[in-house]
Amino acid sequence: MWPGCARAPTGHLRMDEQLVRLRAPLTDDVLRTVRAGDAVVFDGVIYTGRDAAHARLAALLARGEPLPIDLTGQVIYYVGPAPPRPGQPIGSAGPTTSGRMDRYTPALYAAGLKATIGKGHRSPEVLAALVEHCGIYLAAVGGSGALLARTVVRADVVAFADLGPEAIYRLEVHSFPAIVVNDIYGADLYADARRRYRIAPDAEG
């Protein structure tokens, strides 16, 4: 029997230019169809969160207290958006290095989170949590914050407003692009690239 929610082996990474359109809340059945290497666009709602917000969420979980947002089936984008220009919902919104959230992430997947978006590789503990709790990790393109901001049609602070740009925002997005790095079957796009091209583990940023 395959661990977590997986029902079949991954076989190999899929790099066939398939574009997958996703909308939260994500379900296990949907994520069984998503594979490492898939190009994805998100429509609808995603949430933001960085170090300080993650620390607070993890502390609430540890104390058994309710979270300010329902994580079930949801997506968190690791970003601290810049202030918006007049008439825009959000400023530049490029991804933050995901490893900074690794210590908190397994608990959030256990609480129902289904996807995170950032840049860089994840810890072994996070990768194990993805398989156990049927979650995925995706990469957004670093340095493209202004372009990614164009996919945001609305941005509202929904928790921890005192953190300023590191507060949790509820973003409404249309065609927000990302690449699946780790799927529910344990496939790892970065690890596969290192094997193929002999890239050192710290070289992908």
Question: pLDDT (tens digit, 9 = 90+) per residue, 174-198?
Answer: 999 999 999 999 999 988 887 887 7
pLDDT at residue 66, as a whole number:
97
Asked whether residue 11 is domain-assigned, the answer is no
Asked whether residue 109 is domain-assigned, the answer is yes
What is the band of 201 on the pLDDT scale with cuts at 50, 70, 90?
Answer: low
The shares of helix, strand and coil residues in the chain, as percent rounded to the nearest 5, are: 25, 25, 45
Coil, helix or strand at residue 188: strand
Residues in the chain: 205
pLDDT tens for 93-138 read 989 999 999 999 999 999 999 999 999 999 999 999 999 999 999 9
Provide the whole-model pTM: 0.89
Please identify which of the residues 12, 54, 133, 174 carries the catalytic annotation: 54
pLDDT at residue 12, as a whole number:
44
Asked whether residue 168 is domain-assigned, the answer is yes
54 is catalytic: yes
Tokens of 122: 């994840």
Considering the chain, what percentage of its residues have pLDDT values greater than 70? 88
Angle subtended at Cα 19 by Cα 14 and Cα 24, rounded to the nearest 5 degrees: 105
Asked whether residue 8 is domain-assigned, the answer is no
Yes or no: say if 27 and 74 are a contact pair by the CB < 8 Å rule.
no
Asked whether residue 177 is domain-assigned, the answer is yes
Domain that holds residue 111: 24-197
What is the band of 10 on the pLDDT scale with cuts at 50, 70, 90?
Answer: very low
More reliable by pLDDT, 200 or 70:
70
The CA distance from 126 to 68, in Å, is 23
Asked whether residue 87 is domain-assigned, the answer is yes
Yes or no: say if 34 and 135 are a contact pair by the CB < 8 Å rule.
no
Number of domains making up the chain: 1
Asked whether residue 151 is domain-assigned, the answer is yes
Is pLDDT of 60 > 60? Answer: yes
Asked whether residue 71 is domain-assigned, the answer is yes
CATH classification at residue 42: 3.20.130.10
The CA distance from 114 to 132, in Å, is 11
What is the band of 203 on the pLDDT scale with cuts at 50, 70, 90?
Answer: low
User: Exposed, middle or buried, 12 (CB in 10 Å: 0-12/13-18/19+)?
Assistant: exposed
